[in-house]
Structure 1
């Protein structure tokens, strides 16, 4: 497993290089002039040119990319055009609220999603199954921004129970986490149901029941572990999605996280922040997939890494 882990880590380098090239080209194709935005709309052309030179935007694109990638390798991510602060500082301040929001959303989404999925599989084609899958389809179909505004209207505006802006107390996490985790819970429910339905039909499950084991023991001890591998795969992908894809929810709730920072950076054409955030999100997905692959061996000891 150690050799497999090291090989996967080495494989990060070409992947991140490709991502760096693509995001660098993408941000430079965005309309708008970062130098003009940084200097101000009322600045004259001479001031804009001075700002462009200060930002290094007057150099050829290949030279800008080499400088950017060299600095990233050295752990230097540049200075934000918008705030004139180090990019690492900007991201560090915003990372914790996004991480806590993601973990909160993931915990309840996994618990409720798996519970609904297992219940639907056990009572397949009966009313609990139909009810659970109806809830799951509704969760997938309802847009996150619409759900967020609906929750704010009910629990903040009409009832006045929960706040809508900020991340100071545990109450601030309730509405954003419900909004962010609804789609994940729905996906987990459907995926868990499909995995359990397949496992329940296996011969070893029929044998366990024929031995007179209780249904609860059959489901938890025999079905759960064998059904977990595809579920864990989906869980890892969904966690990466939540961590890097909470942009809409953070914009709706004005959440002080990475998603909101990325929206502001794109608006201001803040190249260093955009490039660093996209690289960070890509690295998160790669590392999460690696962790999921390593968990396979723990869930099913018969799996061997080559």
Structure 2
């Protein structure tokens, strides 16, 4: 197990370095950052002055190495627009996005996995058709429309929930449902398909023939094997929720890291955009690494292979 973890950790570090280099260079490939900062009315002299001021005239590899060295120490420079340290800006906003992401994936797992299991146990039943209906609706319904409809119904008409803000846990109920509902269809379908495949296996029939209880068969033998691809999918979905929650944050006025990314892109705030791309990428890498370790613990064949 230790060798498996070390190999995965080394691969994660290599991927992180590659992602950092690509994210750093892509921002420069999009255009001249000095010209973007100077504005449309700037002269060539102004652009050249900004290029020297921010160090854009130096070789790309030198800029990348200096940026990466500071980033490893938690120093992402100063925001061009907010005139504050980028690390302070992100830390202030990241807690909101983290809370929303954890709540969203928890809601998705606690809803989709039980529904997928029950749907697999009772195929073509009413609960199976209900799960299929939720899955289709989740894929067909845009998250921004779902969020707006929830505000209209539960905030304006019924006055049950606040439409925006982050003061209390109640403010996170609707954003959690909207964000989690987006991940539910894939998790539900994967759980159902995995359980149907596992329940038809020989070792499940053997366990039942030996007199094992139905609950033991379902949760110790069947679900443990069927949940392995769900763990990997949940890790990817968690990374998406943290990095792609900008729509939900905008609808419910949650000024988290996703909303900060949108603001920074619109204002050509290069240091903030670079830092957010790197941090969101690290979330994906960390969650994928943890899912690999958890899957290896659930199924020893993975680490042996």
Fold conserved between structures, TM > 0.5:
yes
Bigger drift between 219-228 and 39-48 goes to: 39-48
Corresponding residue for residue 9 of structure 1: 9
Shift of the alpha carbon at 1:62?
4.3
Corresponding residue for residue 54 of structure 1: 53
Matched residues, number: 305
In structure 1, distance between residues paired with 2:175 and 2:252: 7
Shift of the alpha carbon at 1:214?
4.1
Q: Normalized against structure 2, the TM-score is what?
A: 0.89
Contact kept? 2:36, 2:268, Cα under 8 Å: no
Q: Deviations over 1:26-57 (max 9, x none)?
A: 222446866765x7889888776655543333
Alpha carbons of structure 1 residues 5 and 215: separation in structure 2 relative to 1, 3 Å? closer
In structure 2, distance between residues paired with 1:240 and 1:305: 27
Shift of the alpha carbon at 1:212?
4.3
Matches of residues 57-72 of structure 1 in structure 2 within 5 Å? 57-72=56-71
Corresponding residue for residue 186 of structure 1: 185
C-alpha RMSD of the superposition: 2.5
Q: Deviations over 1:209-259 (max 9, x none)?
A: 334444333222321112121121112121122122212211222212110
Q: Deviations over 1:68-97 (max 9, x none)?
A: 233224432111111111111111111111
Alpha carbons of structure 1 residues 130 and 34: separation in structure 2 relative to 1, 3 Å? farther
Alpha carbons of structure 1 residues 263 and 52: separation in structure 2 relative to 1, 3 Å? same
Secondary structure class of the residue paired with 2:123: coil
Bigger drift between 121-130 and 208-217 goes to: 208-217
In structure 1, distance between residues paired with 2:167 and 2:2: 41
Q: Deviations over 1:79-131 (max 9, x none)?
A: 11111111111111111111111111111110110011011101112222112
In structure 2, distance between residues paired with 1:7 and 1:140: 36
In structure 1, distance between residues paired with 2:166 and 2:208: 49
Secondary structure class of the residue paired with 1:188: helix
In structure 2, distance between residues paired with 1:2 and 1:29: 40
Structure 2 residue ranges without an equivalent (≥5) = none
In structure 2, distance between residues paired with 1:242 and 1:36: 30
Contact kept? 1:34, 1:269, Cα under 8 Å: no
Matches of residues 145-160 of structure 1 in structure 2 within 5 Å? 145-160=144-159
Contact kept? 1:156, 1:164, Cα under 8 Å: yes
Corresponding residue for residue 139 of structure 2: 140
In structure 2, distance between residues paired with 1:160 and 1:285: 37
In structure 1, distance between residues paired with 2:23 and 2:288: 21
Corresponding residue for residue 200 of structure 1: 199
Corresponding position: 1:26 with 2:26: yes
Corresponding residue for residue 110 of structure 1: 109
Secondary structure class of the residue paired with 2:303: coil
Bigger drift between 6-15 and 137-146 goes to: 6-15
Q: Normalized against structure 1, the TM-score is what?
A: 0.89
Structure 1 residue ranges without an equivalent (≥5) = none
In structure 1, distance between residues paired with 2:265 and 2:106: 30
In structure 1, distance between residues paired with 2:158 and 2:33: 45
Matches of residues 162-241 of structure 1 in structure 2 within 5 Å? 162-241=161-240
Contact kept? 2:146, 2:178, Cα under 8 Å: yes
Alpha carbons of structure 1 residues 246 and 34: separation in structure 2 relative to 1, 3 Å? farther
